Amino acid sequence: MCGRYALALRPSEVRHQLEQAQMPVDETPADDAVRQSYNFAPGYHGLVYRADGPGHGGATGETKYRLQAMQWGLVPFWTKRNPDYGSKIKTINCRDDSLIEDRGMWTTMKKKKRCIIVAQGFYEWLKKGNEKLPHFTRRKDGQLMCLAGLWDAVQFEDSTKKLFTYTIITTDSNKQLNFLHDRMPVILDNGSEAIRTWLDPARTEWTKDLQSLLKPYHGELECYPVSKDVGKVGNNSPSFLVPINSAANKNNIANFFGNQKKMANNKAEERNDGTVKVEHDVNEPRATTDRVEGTEDNAPLPIPVTTGSQISEEPKGIKREHSEAEDDSGTAAAEPPQKMQKPASSAKNTASPRKTPAKKQGTRSATSNGSAAKTSKGDGSQKITSFFSK
């Protein structure tokens, strides 16, 4: 079984490595046409290496080899509508024993549509009780891993473009990986005769020679546990390729206690000679910044006060004059500076304008709710009772 692998290289980088392994590449997709991921999942567009013979794919005269972007999860050419994700995930792998007989959905692909899936390595999960521990397997020599596969192209009824998809062929696990799973992907050696035979476009019938290539890999591999974070599709980090117990892994508990011991030793050295020994951690992210030299944090730097701004903060309307006492060195040093006197209140210099009342009224108490004092009125405004009393 192979349900997740790693390919974080651009197509141009893959082409360079394949050509160094005597695997010619005549055509390469754009770098943005393929998903580069340390956690490559079904449904992603990966890199497939295949051959076109004369009359196939525009090739003329001789066999042409190409790197092509395809989607992981084979969709047969007779499919009418784009299947859902659940259907595609059922065809991410193809068992080698299902290809022996000349029947089934793989019949057409195994005869004319064989390919190589390029990877840096693959993941498998070890079941340990209720826990699943991810392991990463790669070639010990660090070369790319060439996995045997099949491809197909389909055009849906509601589409004008063809969709290219692929599947990875699996076989029995070898002795090294048998503890992990009973199945493993078919691995072919880079630049080998086995790859040329597998990709040969002139072989249009399924033969025992082709079937015999699908066997457990007996070359040197590395297999080790990695971070559980790789279990979540969408997570992507180069740390997924680092052994969980490696000194290069920051999550390693041994590294944690090792760093604690280093800190204790540094403190002891500081107490002994009064100096601090500064060491650089290779794994420490060191981002560049435009900070002013001498600062030790990321706080915003204060804006320096200019001469103009200092002057503008002086109280307006007060002119500071040169005092003759300041010229006298004998008294200037002995007497403290005099505080600046406040200007006289404007109320003493100029009386504030007051409105002249139209009529003179008596004083009314501020604490009494009584009515206002009555004013004398002329005879024409006397009460009528006063008139009758006369």
Distance CA 222, CA 378 (A): 123
Task: Report the pLDDT value the prediction gives residue 382, as an integer from 0 to 100.
Answer: 57
Task: Report the pLDDT value the prediction gives residue 386, as an integer from 0 to 100.
Answer: 53
Mean pLDDT comparison of 54-68, 71-85, 246-260, highest-scoring range:
71-85
Which residue, among 179, 131, 153, 143, has the nearest Cα to 20 in the 3D structure? Answer: 143
Distance CA 385, CA 390 (A): 9
CATH fold for the domain made of 5-241? hypothetical protein yedk fold (3.90.1680)
Q: How far apart are the first and last CA of the chain?
A: 130
Which residue, among 60, 46, 50, has the nearest Cα to 112 in the 3D structure? Answer: 50
Taking residue 141's Cβ as centre, other Cβ atoms within 10 Å add up to: 10
Q: Which of 13, 19, 101, 124 is catalytic?
A: 124
Distance CA 139, CA 145 (A): 7
Which comes out higher in pLDDT, residue 259 or 299?
Answer: 259
Q: Which of 2, 94, 115, 223 is catalytic?
A: 2
2 is catalytic: yes
Task: Report the pLDDT value the prediction gives residue 294, as an integer from 0 to 100.
Answer: 37
Q: Where are the domains of the chain?
A: 5-241
Band (379; pLDDT cuts 50, 70, 90): low
Task: Report the pLDDT value the prediction gives residue 111, as an integer from 0 to 100.
Answer: 96
pTM of the model: 0.64
Q: What pLDDT, in 10s, does the model give residues 88-131?
A: 899 999 999 999 998 889 999 999 999 999 999 999 999 988 99
Q: What pLDDT, in 10s, does the model give residues 165-204?
A: 999 999 999 999 999 999 999 999 999 999 999 999 999 9
Task: Report the pLDDT value the prediction gives residue 260, as an integer from 0 to 100.
Answer: 54
Q: What pLDDT, in 10s, does the model give residues 213-264?
A: 999 999 999 999 999 999 999 999 999 999 998 765 665 544 444 555 566 5
Band (353; pLDDT cuts 50, 70, 90): low
